Amino acid sequence: MAAVEFVDVRKSFGAFPVIKGVNIEIADGEFVILVGPSGCGKSTLLRMLAGLENISAGEIRIGGRVVNGLAPGERDIAMVFQNYALYPHMTVAQNMAFSLMLKRAPKADMDQRVDKAAGILGLTKLLDRYPRQLSGGQRQRVAMGRAIVRDPQVFLFDEPLSNLDAKLRVAMRAEIKELHQRLSTTTVYVTHDQIEAMTMADKIVVMHDGVVEQVGAPLDLYDNPANLFVAGFIGSPAMNMFKGRLNPDNANQFIASDGTALPVANPPAGAKGRDLIYGLRPEYILLDANGLPAEIVVIEPTGYETQLIVRFGGADVSCVFRERVNARPGETLRISIDAPHVHLFDAESGQRLS
Ligand code: ATP
């Protein structure tokens, strides 16, 4: 196991900068997820850590050792890819043992490591099968088994679940998390799926356009997003955003662009007269017989909760109620806002003010 550090890391492809000065500290044994929209640079960052891509500037350290100039094989890491990359003509056992064979490990040691990894991953009965005889989830487990047998200092995962169907993805999420709890190996995991990040990570690194927007524990990012990008990216359904300004005569009111007055519990200093964004998570909208009218656009009962889109404050707004709602599109609900949970952002800089 080892800590991993990125120190002012930069990368350009030709004249095109894709990583623009990234600093990340990953503690020994931590499970860190790099998340962000397509093209933000997360795979490039992971590939640089793996040694598959060189670094234009800065330093990457694994266990305190600068690895910039080291080949992938010298970094003591193991990577699991999206497409598993199993050898079709080799059995599960041979696939798992392959890297040890290359290192000319003694046969007894090799067998013992493969058996142990197979036990952890529930692959013991499948060791003689070929990849074509396995399900997607089983193949994914073999790919992880191949990483485990190497007993590396760091595991790297690049979107390992994106080829699986939704149900299997949820199951594998739990397996990977459990695996990490068992082995406590430092893990760096890349995904564009914020739910994967929220459910698995000790720490999330939110990336956007080659820079780190925020680093934090999942719920900390959810509750205290640093800026509009993180607020909009973390959470599903996404945070509702209204453009507007504080009421010049009453800072406890936000006036949305259609004139609707929305409550503000903690008006930030200096926000009067500035263009703001009012950020409201769907679960902080409450059904309230004395509240403001909102017309139902879409209603989706999921069984244990009801998700809706309503027309309110000049916008289509997502709400999630933890109860059943007997209503149809076109009807009007009355809602209120749990004001202490509202965030205000500066519209120009995107920074959170409260
Ligand atoms: P995705 O989720 O789509 O994989 P990502 O966040 O992992 O996205 P990267 O694959 O790291 O993004 O790519 C970051 C940027 O670098 C993109 O704009 C991409 O087009 C560019 N890029 C990646 N590899 C190369 C390359 N070999 N040559 C030129 N540009 C590249």
Cα distances (angstroms) measured from residue 167 to each of 164, 170, 193, 280, 350: 8, 5, 15, 30, 36
HSE, side-chain direction, 13 A CA sphere, residue 13: 8
Query: Residue 261: which residues within 8 A CB-CB, separation 6 or more?
Result: 247, 253, 254, 255
| Best probe residue, ligand 1, of 42, 189, 209 (max atoms within 8 Å of C-beta) | 42
Q: What mean pLDDT, rounded, does the chain reach? A: 95
Separation CA 220–CA 166 (nearest Å):
26
- Token pair for 88: 């079709």
Return the ligand 1 atom nearest residue 45 CA. Answer: 11
What does the alpha-carbon distance between residue 119 and residue 145 come to, in Å, rounded to a whole number?
A: 10
The share of the chain scoring above pLDDT 90, in percent, equals 90
| Backbone phi and psi for residue 244, each to the nearest 5 degrees, phi listed first | 165, -160
Q: Calculate what percentage of the chain has a pLDDT beyond 70.
A: 100
* Closest residue by CA, ligand 1 atom 28: 13
Domains of the chain (ranges, CATH numbers): 4-233 (3.40.50.300), 240-346 (2.40.50.140)
Q: pTM of this prediction? A: 0.94
Please give the DSSP secondary-structure letter assigned to residue 238.
Answer: P
pLDDT exceeds 90 at position 235: yes
The CB density around residue 226, as the number of other CB atoms within 10 Å, is 17
Residue 162: per-residue pLDDT: 86
Nearest CA owner, ligand 1 atom 7: 43
pLDDT reading at 327 higher than 80: yes
- 1 has a pLDDT exceeding 80: no
Residue from 233, 239, 209, 231 nearest 319 by CA? 239
Model confidence band, residue 136 (pLDDT cutoffs 50, 70, 90): confident
Give the mean model confidence (pLDDT) for residues 273-296. Answer: 97
Confidence band for 96, pLDDT divided at 50, 70 and 90: very high
191 lines ligand 1 (CB under 6 A): no
Best residue among 18, 157, 162 to mutate for probing ligand 1, ranked by most atoms within 8 Å of CB = 18
Q: Is 95 in the pocket of ligand 1 (CB under 6 A)?
A: no
The per-residue pLDDT for 275 is: 97
ipTM: 0.96
Residue nearest to atom 24 of ligand 1 (CA): 44
